[in-house]
Structure 1
């Protein structure tokens, strides 16, 4: 009888988790797809924008990266505001304002207005990703979290899988109504985000108690699952979270694979321009690595959930990223270079999904809201470093190889950082069991 009751409860839990996931994930995935597209479509704009604006490689790289400086500066304040006013309202606000700011990129006329527009975009987007991570961690228990986060993070490779061909096609609108193709690209890819933000207002709910679309029994079941987790780990404020060495190591680890992710993502169109001439061809070819990354990320996240070895899988995914970048540096053909970049993107994309299931096991409450933002704040600096280093190395050496090599070395260090994280995890587990 008891076994039957346990099976019935487990089935009820899976059913309500599935219902919540189908409610939240479509709008969040679409929002993050547009979010990531807004960050990296500047690489496609560069195919024609750089000449129109007179941008050098280092100026373009600096402008692409300055987005992340602004993003980092306002990351923690944004998530503290999210905790105060509620995720539903704040996430919708972020999406509406960044959609409008992305469209403003169509108005830039030179390097300084380019820097200003990218800075404004970074300010408006600050807090979105850690805000969603906090939101999902507040709704989904740990045993479902890696898989749920992987589905959400599917938006990252999907944004390049869809965005590459779309951006390449929009560049072909050059001259329509007297506007450059890259301006059309920013308008068409930016403005829909504001509509998704309005959609989010009607779909999201801050807690099961505020979800009118759940039945009373479903709300009770969700609250029981979530309350059980909260009792199992100590509640932390932001100051307590910052005293935990694991939080800082996690920030450095995410910095490492973010360097590789954005470095490759932003510069891939210009890397491919060495071999291809048509923007549409570049867009289609650039989508290939991300198609593999989409499938690999979901499979690897499911494997990580099944084995329960998040740290081991995180280390292996970062190692694969380093191997892929090294392979692309020493490759002597276009095909071999693309194989290396594909392996690198599979590694760093899978690392992102595995990684974000870990902080939620360490922090709760306002500590989680601010702690997630702090981790992403430090990591976002990698989004500045990756594009800028490749741009600087390209000007100094005339080749992309040196910049890709530096990013590969950063990923090797990232793999090594998993070792102290394991040590701190064992210490924390021992301290918990002794109390």
Structure 2
């Protein structure tokens, strides 16, 4: 089902019960969802800290590392849509718990990697296990927050990304320094501990999450009824423009357009993330460890602070498209500048701008496609957008390695990655044509 983005320009009063209900949902659900995101992102990116060890002990070349890093996103993309549709039917409690426990098992198994083949297989399986987590949360937020409240809620959830790096980078660096304890290498300790964390939180998710507002004992009856009514009215508005079945949403040109936008964003995210420890190590002149982990956390800490303000601004002004476009341009400038700055402080500032831009743009971006889709079309559409978009995690490391090899300089790889957010900004600006068309359709159906 597709909706008009015209509704994003009208901001009726939601009423005190809905305001109270969403405030309670924000306090109860978002910290836990954020914790899940933190652990998910740590487990998918901690190989950046193990890169050198894997090359030494598992015989991985730089190209093999980049290829394996990207394989996660192949498994992730293939299973995104079916996973999200299952969650829409069985509920978030069961499905989120299953996702976290299985990915924790696979994440811990990386401690046994003994060659490229095993590395490739586990990276693919990690993607399969985690598939559906992120789009599942995006879908889950539509069950709890009307669009007017969803921008800030999504931005708060997305704070898990920089928090994962603020917390995860020093944690991973510190675990590497356990090298030799109990006969395990530092990277083995890292994979084991961080995998066990995912399993533990997965068990907690089953008992903590609530599937829908109607089942929330922590809301009053008036709050439950008002929130359900507000969400139902929003869904009804979405149906006034056009209706899509779940499978038609997968073939819809607009959904594929959104997937292309998200692809450009993820190329920037993972092109930086997978190589940031080594890049910061070069800037600081230090080996990868706890100190480098602390320095790696700085760009993400800046992004964390900026994200809290940008999401609130987008909700207050309803200027989602303009804000996302601007933040992607900031990211592109930062990534490009970091390629040419040799002075450590300036290089770190540029990396901070790169992270601020793409971290702040992502939650705002998701407010655009979720304003067009509803029901099973929303479940399948979000899964497809996230699945195809996250292929950027496969493209980015391999593209960066290829460009560096072709031009003989790391700067060339960063410049290539910097082009992606600029392209994403242009594509987001182009969504204004969707809005114009939907106004015309809505005007016709209401006259």
TM-score (normalizing by structure 2):
0.93
- In the alignment, does 2:418 pair up with 1:408? yes
Q: Which moved more, 1:189-198 or 1:164-173?
A: 189-198
Which residue among 167, 181, 186 is the counterpart of 1:181? 186
Which segments of 5 or more consecutive residues in structure 2 lack a partner in the other structure?
1-11
Match of 2:218, SS state, is coil
Q: Which moved more, 1:260-269 or 1:244-253?
A: 244-253
Which residue among 374, 377, 383 is the counterpart of 1:373? 383
The residue aligned with 2:15 is: 10
Which residue among 179, 191, 198 is the counterpart of 1:193? 198
* Matched length: 429
Which residue among 56, 59, 63 is the counterpart of 1:58? 63
Indicate how the Cα distance of structure 1 residues 194 and 75 shifts in structure 2: closer, same or farther if over 3 A, else same: same
Aligned partners of 1:189, 1:371: CA distance in 2, in Å? 31
Contact 1:62 1:387 in 2 (8 A): yes
Aligned partners of 1:371, 1:278: CA distance in 2, in Å? 40
- In the alignment, does 2:265 pair up with 1:263? no
Contact 1:60 1:391 in 2 (8 A): no
Which residue among 133, 136, 139 is the counterpart of 2:141? 136
The residue aligned with 2:94 is: 89
Aligned partners of 1:349, 1:38: CA distance in 2, in Å? 18
Match of 1:332, SS state, is coil
Match of 2:339, SS state, is helix
* CA displacement at 1:49 relative to structure 2: 2.4
CA RMSD, 1 decimal: 1.7
Indicate how the Cα distance of structure 1 residues 243 and 179 shifts in structure 2: closer, same or farther if over 3 A, else same: closer
* CA displacement at 1:398 relative to structure 2: 4.7
Which residue among 301, 326, 331 is the counterpart of 2:341? 331
- In the alignment, does 2:355 pair up with 1:345? yes
- In the alignment, does 2:369 pair up with 1:359? yes
* CA displacement at 1:238 relative to structure 2: 1.9
Superposition map of 1:18-417 within 5 A: 18-234=23-239, 236-242=244-250, 244-274=252-282, 275-417=285-427
Instruction: State the Cα deviation string for residues 40-92 of structure 1 (Å, max 9, x = none).
Output: 11101113222111211111111111000110011111112112222221111
Contact 1:27 1:199 in 2 (8 A): no
* CA displacement at 1:36 relative to structure 2: 0.6
Match of 2:431, SS state, is helix
Q: Which moved more, 1:172-181 or 1:405-414?
A: 405-414
Contact 1:262 1:387 in 2 (8 A): yes
* CA displacement at 1:249 relative to structure 2: 1.6
Contact 1:238 1:371 in 2 (8 A): yes
Match of 1:273, SS state, is helix
Contact 1:246 1:421 in 2 (8 A): no
* CA displacement at 1:425 relative to structure 2: 2.1
TM-score (normalizing by structure 1):
0.95
Instruction: State the Cα deviation string for residues 244-297 of structure 1 (Å, max 9, x = none).
Output: 433222111111011011110111011122222251111010000011000111
* CA displacement at 1:302 relative to structure 2: 0.7
Match of 1:139, SS state, is coil
Instruction: State the Cα deviation string for residues 158-184 of structure 1 (Å, max 9, x = none).
Output: 000111111111000001011000010
Which segments of 5 or more consecutive residues in structure 1 lack a partner in the other structure?
1-6
Aligned partners of 1:136, 1:236: CA distance in 2, in Å? 21
Contact 1:96 1:193 in 2 (8 A): yes
Aligned partners of 1:407, 1:42: CA distance in 2, in Å? 20
* CA displacement at 1:207 relative to structure 2: 1.5
Aligned partners of 1:57, 1:125: CA distance in 2, in Å? 25
Indicate how the Cα distance of structure 1 residues 276 and 398 shifts in structure 2: closer, same or farther if over 3 A, else same: farther
Aligned partners of 1:390, 1:84: CA distance in 2, in Å? 40
Aligned partners of 2:137, 2:40: CA distance in 1, in Å? 12
Contact 2:14 2:230 in 1 (8 A): no
Aligned partners of 2:109, 2:407: CA distance in 1, in Å? 34
Contact 1:57 1:392 in 2 (8 A): no
Aligned partners of 1:9, 1:77: CA distance in 2, in Å? 33
The residue aligned with 1:433 is: 443
